[in-house]
Amino acid sequence: MPQTTTDHDAGVLPPDAGERSSGAVVPVLAFAGITVAVVQTLLVPVIKDLPTLLHTAPSNAAWVLTATLLAGAVATPIMGRLGDLYGKRRMLLASLAVMVAGSLVCAFTDDLLIMIAGRALQGFAMGAIPLGIGIMRDEVPRERLGSAMALMSSSIGVGGGLALPAAALVAQNADWHALFFGSAGLGVLSMVLTLVAVPESALRAPGRFDKTGAFGLSGGLVALLLPITKGSDWGWASPTTLGLFGGAVVILVAWGWWELRSAAPLVDLRTTARREVLLTNLASVMVGVAFYAISLVLPQLLQLPASTGYGLGQSMVVAGLCVAPLGLTMMLTAPLYARIAARRGPRVSLILGMVVIAIGYGGGLGLMSAPWQTVIISVIVGAGIGLAYSSLPALIVGAVDASETGAANGLNTLMRSIGTSVSSAVIGMVLARTSAVSDGVALPTMHGFRISFAIATAAVLGGLVLAFFLPAQRAARAAERPDPGTYTDEDANADARTGTGQDNGQSTGAGTDTGRGPGVGHGAGTGRTAGAGVPGGHTTLLATSGGFRGRVTGADGLAVARATITLIDRRGAQAGRAVADEDGYYDLVPPRAGDFVLAGSAAGHGSQACSAEYAGDGVPVEVDLVLPAPRPAVRGAGSA
């Protein structure tokens, strides 16, 4: 099987890095994701008691939840970018360490302001999700990558579903501060497991950290999310709410202007504007709305007293157990997603997931009269969300360069967080507006619950429409194997290479690369050839490809084992490299569409270069290379 090699300024990733990755990497990273999700759900069972516990007004106590949301939204894209630049494992450990510190701060206080600060520190752990997905892309063999990313992506729901009954049990039988000691313990355990089982990837993005962009994005997100989460308390038409919305627009527009002109942006907006990335992120917002709606509605419905005529009168623990299948089903759908995506691609699994979510919410409109019915709703909606969440990182990974994985998935995770924020605000407003007073207390009504489910259904149908406009031929194979990486001008300037040329049917100067960073190549030879090219020839192919593949042979027609195939773009920069297998087959995916030169070389042979056009629409392009006998007089035909 062809090997994958990656060189860059931070070091060298051994050719068999993907194959040698420990089998413990995936469960350890998924456990980190579950730990992060526990933090998000930790206080749900005691939300109604927070004003009493913290000796403050309900509007002030709500900041304990809002602080975590805002910090998570800010940290997610920033930590993803820092991971791309300085090491994803390092930043994952930093995220978990900050979470542990925040948990301990909360565990030892009843003061509102200190509690808010601790919860904000806990929110920084949200950056672990895109970091974990990035590590998986770097370390996990491609045949396991789809299901691995699916498990990591769905860990948010898994952790939330499992944490709800566990937190309810602790809150009913122990001091509520024990919740924070428990989250600190999970964080420490996750850090230890990460140190033991997760290697640090050598892959680094070029450039520096965009501090101005980080401050701008942070300010814009805070200005946007604050009125979304607090608008119902402040009034949607209040000067504060409108002022913050207006400020968010100004700040984010200025931030976008800066990012487009920055040499090393925090978020590559040009990449984000690609159809597959933009539509995936917009669909993520819709899935986030749908995901949070069920978490807001079902626990309240289950715990409302039966005297209301529609409440199910269950305890906090039973309510948590009824909703727990939501997370469990999300976890169990990860292998199912891998099978669907392998056959049809992640776009199809995203569409299927959204259809299942819509069925769950639509059926839920008439299934709210018994606890067992809420379990059915949780199972169906959980299965749909599991499929949808599993598809999102695969779509993003398949559309961006390897060096942008952390930042791109961080932005995608942020889009989901914005969706949950919008869901919380809108459904909270609906339930408040439709509430009825019983024994002097305002309680949500069944009418409000049904409107909330209808809103979630409308959101997921909107996401379904967006998913249909995603590129139709996004094969899972392209999303599940390592990307060839990005070879930048900075790297190109550091290299000494001789370029490509022709020698009248003889060997071609394929170039000698004495610098750093050939990008990533990978292979899985298929045995299918198309006879594309002759020694020294210059053959142009119209590619409709998810990558180039073919066979390297010598002038005698025999396979050339372990030949090096170098991919060079139109600027002369190296865009990727692959090593053929023992039978001469190679498989190499370009980082983008365009015109490329594939240069083959091997010890004991001359070199051949062949130009080919890559259109990137899902059909592999066959490019065979025939290496001539060496000519001592020809220079520049060395190994790439």
For residue 629, the 8-state DSSP code is P
Q: Residue 616 has what pLDDT?
A: 65
Q: Are the beta carbons of 615 and 593 closer than 8 angstroms?
A: yes
Task: Check residue 355 and give its pLDDT.
Answer: 94
Residue 236, phi then psi, degrees to nearest 5: -70, -20
- Report the distance separating Cα 212 and Cα 120, nearest Å: 21
Per-residue model confidence (pLDDT) at position 405: 65
* Three-state SS at 587: strand
The pairing of beta strand 548-554 with beta strand 625-627: parallel
The pLDDT, as a whole number, for residue 542 is 36
Residue 431 has pLDDT above 70, yes or no: yes
> Of 127-131, 184-188, 287-291, 470-474, where does mean pLDDT reach its minimum?
470-474
Lowest mean pLDDT among 69-73, 513-517, 596-600, 604-608: 513-517
Which residue spans within 384-440 are E strands per DSSP?
A: 436-438
Mean pLDDT, all residues of the chain: 76
- Assess whether pLDDT exceeds 70 at residue 512: no
Q: Using 50, 70 and 90 to split pLDDT, how confident is the model at 546?
A: low
Quick one: which of 127, 153, 415 has its CA closest to 278?
415
What single-letter amino acid sits at 100? V
pLDDT-wise least confident of 147-151, 201-205, 625-629: 201-205
pLDDT band at 571 (very low <50, low <70, confident <90, very high): low
- 562 neighbors 582 (Cβ within 8 angstroms): yes
Structure tokens at 639: 């190994």
Residue 23: CB atoms within 10 Å: 10
Closest CA to 599 of 555, 639, 633: 639
What's the confidence (pLDDT) of residue 11? Answer: 34
Residue with tokens 């083959």: 600
Distance between CA atoms of residues 71 and 101, nearest Å: 14
Nearest to 385 by CA among 436, 411, 423, 433: 423
Q: Terminus-to-terminus CA distance in the chain, angstroms?
A: 20
pLDDT confidence bin for 289, thresholds 50/70/90: confident
Q: How many residues does the chain have?
A: 640
Q: Return the pLDDT at 143.
A: 66
- The mean pLDDT value for 432-448 works out to 80
Q: Give me 601's structure tokens.
A: 């070389």
Mean pLDDT (whole number) for 276-287 = 88
CB 125 within 8 A of CB 96: yes
Q: What order do you get walking across the sheet with 6-8 strand by strand? A: 11-13, 6-8, 519-520
Structure tokens at 554: 């010598």
Question: What are the backbone dihedrals phi and psi of residue 12, each rounded to the nearest 5 degrees, phi first?
Answer: -125, 130
Residue 599 has pLDDT above 50, yes or no: yes
CB burial string 321-335: b at 16+ within 10 A, e below:
bbbbbbbbbbbbbbe
Q: Could you tell me if 469 and 302 are in contact, meaning their C-beta atoms sit under 8 angstroms apart?
A: no
Confidence category of residue 187, pLDDT binned at 50, 70, 90: very high
What confidence tier does 168 reach under pLDDT thresholds 50, 70, 90? Answer: confident
Residue that wins the pLDDT comparison between 477 and 458:
458
Looking up tokens 């202007």, which residue turns up?
257
Q: Give the per-residue pLDDT at 142.
A: 66
For the whole prediction, is pTM greater than 0.85? Answer: no
**Residue 482: pLDDT above 70?**
no
What is d(CA 290, CA 283) in angstroms, rounded to the nearest whole number?
A: 11
Question: Residue 505 in contact with residue 579, Cβ under 8 Å?
Answer: no
Whether 445 shows a pLDDT value over 60: the answer reads yes
Per-residue confidence (pLDDT) for residue 264, from 0 to 100: 77
- Of all residues in the chain, the percent with pLDDT exceeding 70 is 79
Rounded-to-integer distance, Cα 639 and Cα 603, Å: 8
Q: Which helix (H) or strand (E) holds 605?
A: none
Least confident of 103-112, 126-135, 356-365: 126-135
